[in-house]
Structure formats: C-alpha cells, structure tokens
A and B are shown apart, each in its own frame.
Chain A
C-alpha cells in the first residue's frame, strides 16, 4: 500500500479565524499527527497564492492527502477540491475542517477555541487518511425545461429559454396564464396599465413554438435529479373539447348558474361555464363541475351550454365523461415560480374585514379601479355611492409579530398608487396610515413626493381598530379608523367611507406541498429558501431546480422579472454545457457479504438499490444515477455490505474517535 502523506493548511482568514484561534499553535499541533508531512498556516488559503501552496506541496513533497482548516466546506470545499485536482490528485483525497463558522465566529474564549480547532483538524486528518479516490461521471443533460407557474415570473423565464430555441413545458394551475399581475390595474410608479404590458407577453407565451402550455394543470410528481427529471402533470378536465372551443363566450352568456368570480375578487359573478377574463390565454371555456347543474344531475338538468355551442365543443360526452389526464414528460432543469397568496385580513378581527362591506383588500381595489373591471373603473361603495373619504392601512399582516415579521416590500408603493388613483378617479380625501414609508426602487421616492404634493394625508401610526361605532355626528354612518399618530403623539379617530387594507404578500397556502414535490426548503416565514441569500439567490439546495418571483418572498414586478431572467440564465448555462456531473459519494454494495435481503430496496426513497439474482444468489446493486448518497441503506443493511463512498463507516468512526480523544 502506498504511504499516506498528508498536508495540512490552517487559514487565518485575516482576523476572522486568527483573531480567536491561535493558528500557529494549531499548525504546529497538526505537524505532530501521524502521516502529516507538512503543516502550514496562511493568511488567506482561498487566494491564488494560498491554493498554490497546496499545488506546489503536492508536487514537491509528494502529498497524496490534503486537509484545509478554514471556513465552512459549504463555502470553499469546491475551491480546494479543485486546487487539489490542479495539483494532480484526485479531488476526493481532500478533507475540510470548519474552524470559522463552527469555531472562531461562535466562541470568544481563545484557548478553548484553539483546542476545538485542534480537535477538528485532528478529526479531519484521521478521516482524510481513509479517503479513496472517487470518479465523477458525466451524464447528458436533457435540454427541456419545466417552468411551474404562469405568472409574470414563469412567463418571463419560459420566454427567455424558449427564445433560445429550447423546449419549455409551462404548467399553470389556473385556467389561464397571467398570475396576479393580470389582476392588477396599473403598476407603480409609472402607472402604466398592467394588462397593456402583460398581454403581449401572454400572447407570446401562448403562441410560442417552443413553449408547450399546460393550463388548469398541476405538477403531481417529480422524480430523478438534475439533467433528468421525470415529471407527472395532472391536466384537470375542462369539460369541453379544447380542439373545438373557439372562445366565443356564448355558453357563458346562456349559462344560468352563477358564483363569485375569483378573478374579480368576488366583486362580480361568473358562470358555471366561463372564460376567466377577457384576455385569458388560452382563450377557452372551462366548466366548474361543482356548479354545473348538468354535471351535478348527471345530465338530467339544464344543458343550456350544449344547445348553444355551435362549435360542438361542449357535449354531453365532455360534460359527463371527460376526466383528468395524466401527462408525463422528461426535463433537465426546473424553474419554480408559484407566486404568493394575499394575506387574509379576516384573521385580524379588529380591522373588520368580512364584517364591514366597505373594508376591502388591495386586490379588490385593483379590480375596482380597472376600466374593464366590475365597476367600470369607478371607486364605489357597496351601495353604489362614491366614497367621500378613503383610508389606506399599511402593513396589514406584515411587520407584525402576530402575523408576519417581514416587510412585504410592495405595500407602501401600491398604497401610494391607490392614493393617486383615488384622487384621479374620485373626489375622495385620502388618508394613509403608515409605520414607515419604504420607497426604495427606481422612481419610487419621486412617486412618493408626487403623491404627497397631490394632497394625500399621511398619518404615521399603526391602526388599532376599525369600527362603525360613532362617538359624534361626524362619525355616524361611517367607518372610524382609530390609530395613534406617533408624530403628534396622540390618538386619532378618522371617519371614512372606505378602508383599503394593504395586505401582505404571504407564502402560498400549499407551499409545503409544493416544497415536498420539488424537494425545496422553506424559511421560517414559509417562502422557499434560496441556496445562498446573497450569492446564489435563485438556486435551491436541489441541483437543477431554481426559484423565481414571490414564491421566494415578497418582491415587486421589476425584481421578479430580473429574477426570472436569472433563473433562465441558470437553466440556459446548463443547457449550453449539455452535461452534468453525477454524485460521486454514492452507495456501493460488497457483493461477497450481501444476502439480498432487500432492506435497502425498502428504505430507499429513490429506488436506487435493486436486488436481483446474480450467479444463482440474490444480491443488491445500486443504480448510481439514482442514488443521492443519503446513506439510509447503509444504516439498515444487516450485514454491513453497503457503504457510502466518502462517508464510509470506517471514516466516520475514525472521525468520531478523533473528536472524543483528548488533545
């Protein structure tokens, strides 16, 4: 067996490590450990001269194992593996000791921190001694991309990728693409009409030769890994013949069954058969099976739509027999852009949402001010009158320890937009109740100034209560907004006719399920977690899956679009390379010990082990492209036949033993 020659490198990381850990002492200590040939300390190991130390020592001193003690391996393990490879060694003959995040940054007792650093280095040395060279394999990457969510984020990402002539599958849960943005009236701070800027993009997506659109569909299953994901999509039954429907709307006109329109936030009705909104893409009718009398009576009642559909897109067959379809396809990368839910303010009872007719949310106001909306662009109270006074309440459900601690980022700006629109579309006085005005984006501060000059009343304070209990004649028949005015230092009561609650953006109610399907992590606030908050903001811990838009946290349209384009760039760079490297630290079976009991098959979530007969005996074998290297099979293996490369029992036992040794 070849002699093991280990090089140990202790990084100062400037004062980040050396300020607490005595790096010279650690390096001297490491030099005394068995098989350590050289032990050095250096100011910045990740710098080029730092890496050159390793490369030169490998050549000059014949090192065949390397340990670097520095920051987290999640940060620089790839850097040093590459340096080791550049020095001519297999990159897996390397071990990383984390003496910054796990030591110098969390401890202040220099002596104990130094002792801990020595322990960690000793454990790394014992472990690297046992490392074996591993081969990273290349596998082809499927160039097709799945984009989940047909809002502005998903559409932008899909268009960028498809414009490079790559196939995109775009899956949207609702009957039409457009997302929340198509519900908005105008967009701050430029006040350009949301529909006008969005519908051309929707049309591009709908007609793009490289985009296959699945609306009214949901992803049910994702298996596989980067380069080769297998996708299962449930295409819900529209109960019409999509190939025949021409979107003429006659069925909707004749249908007698009504319910609140989701698109119009309940401010208008829709029918049992309907097209969600005028610019819907695809422009196809959809039948609500829970409302359609024909479906509910199994064809005994109604059937008005069947009679009027000249295109014969609606027939007894489509209404009664059409079922959900499962569609399967393969992709190499996935972009998740599933958006947000608007916070439901009814959980704050003192604001009276759901109790008072004229306490509304932001999305209600968006529909109301929209010229094509349910009131024809007029701001109207429930009884049809025009309001004389409107209150805008900021931070509803956000910046509030009882609900969401985070700032929802867009509410200040959309509240300013509402103030401007209220002034433009009505004669109402506008009162803004704010905690702080956060106008950070391009042209935002200028828009704030403009609204201030338009005569909007700004009251700094969090609203305590909204009530219809009048204390004076002026308050009779009004909604009274009770708030502290922190600038005047007193309680104010402002009687108004309409209150708009600027509700927070929150994680989708089914985000947990989506996270499970796509193997995403979530933050404490429920949004999806990025791989690195600053330096890898659209990647996720799962290779090949990216996130864009409000599913990652509240953001405005420009940020969402930029992020969507970033995910497209990520996908396109993978497609352009064309191959992926597969996990090298995977399970392996010692066939001479394996009894073929199948425990590994039972426990594996990825179906990597398979027991089969080989030369007359049952043995397990691992499909390395499916194995993710979690190691669960090795734990349950009763014979010890299975081990995980790079995390073998021998290695971890040696590491644990070294950690509990007294230095």
Chain B
C-alpha cells in the first residue's frame, strides 16, 4: 500500500502568507506538494464554515495563516482570526478531530522559508496521526 499522503488546505491572507508562499516559490524553497492554497484577502475573512467544508471534503489538515499582529493590512485582522480559530477548535473537538489538524500560523511576506517549513512540519505530523476520520468514513461509504 502506498504511503499515506495527507491533503492540506491552506487559507492564506493576500498580503502576508500568500506573499510568503510566493516568495518561497521565487526563492525555489521546496516543500511537499500536499498543500492547496486558497487566497483570502485577510485571515479575518476565514469563515469557520470554510474550514469545516475542507474537513468535510476529506482534508487531513487545514492551515489558517496570515500576517503577524503588527503587520495587518486591515489593522487587527489576526486578532479576529485568532478568535475564530479558538471557537473552531472547540467545534473540531466535538467532531472528534485531533487538535493538530487545524494549524494557525502568522507568516510575514518576507518569511518564505518559514512557510515552507510549516508545510513540511504539517505533512510530517499528519503522516504520524494518519488520515482524517472524516476521510475514512467518506471512502468507506463510497
């Protein structure tokens, strides 16, 4: 059986983390191809529904990443996003999803290397904890 390859959906703010992922590309800093990035204008735009939708679809992990608290293009977006993620964690707990499956990170536009490192870490960690229980169920039904 092939090794389990986790599927990650990353919500990245346009100004910082999306730009950091661009910088990782420009600097050719490689990371595993398990991640798919959704560009949002601000991390505070990430609705809990989007994260739940990703898990429902079978994502093994979700990254919500944006500017550092002092860098926000919209003044205090990261604070609002932190609040959303905190609430979301409780919901995931009730749903029986491991805490590690949702990761919240602050990655500045200059931190391409940091972005690549985070993806590598997530992939390794998700490989350890295995496929999302949602994914297993979806596949079993099919």
Residues of A bordering B, CB below 8 Å: 72-74, 98, 100-103, 105-109, 112-113, 115-116, 119-120, 123, 512, 515-516, 519, 521-524, 529, 541-542, 585, 603, 605-606, 628-632, 634-636, 644, 647, 649, 652-653, 655-657, 659-662
Contact = CB atoms under 8 A, between A and B. Distances in A.
A585 B33 contact: no
A276 to B, nearest CB: 31
Given A105-B26, A529-B109, A631-B44, A656 B38 contact: yes
Interface string B39-54: 1111011111110011
B53 A632 contact: no
Contacts of B49: 649, 653
B26 A109 contact: no
A497 B56 CA distance: 73
Given A73-B39, A105-B26, A635 B73 contact: no
Given A636-B80, A652-B47, 14 more contacts: A103-B33, A119-B36, A512-B70, A521-B15, A524-B111, A541-B15, A605-B76, A630-B73, A631-B41, A635-B80, A644-B41, A652-B40, A657-B53, A660-B7
Interface of B: 7, 9, 14-16, 18-19, 21-22, 24-26, 28-33, 36-42, 44-50, 53-54, 56-59, 67, 70-77, 80, 84, 108-111, 116
A71 B18 CA distance: 13
10 smallest CB-CB distances across A and B, nearest first, come from A660-B57, A101-B25, A631-B45, A630-B74, A105-B25, A630-B42, A632-B44, A605-B75, A107-B33, A659-B36
Contact of A102 (B22, B40, B58, B108): B22
Contacts of B30: 106-108
Which of A101, A112, A529 has the most chain B CB atoms closer than 10 A to its own CB? A101
Contacts of A605: 74-77
Given A634-B47, A652-B38, A628 B57 contact: no
B65 to A, nearest CB: 13
Contacts of B21: 101-102
A521 B71 contact: yes
A519 B70 CA distance: 9
Contacts of A98: 22, 37, 39
Given A632-B74, A649-B47, A603 B25 contact: no
A635 B47 contact: yes
Contacts of B39: 73, 98
A524 B108 contact: yes
A521 B57 CA distance: 35
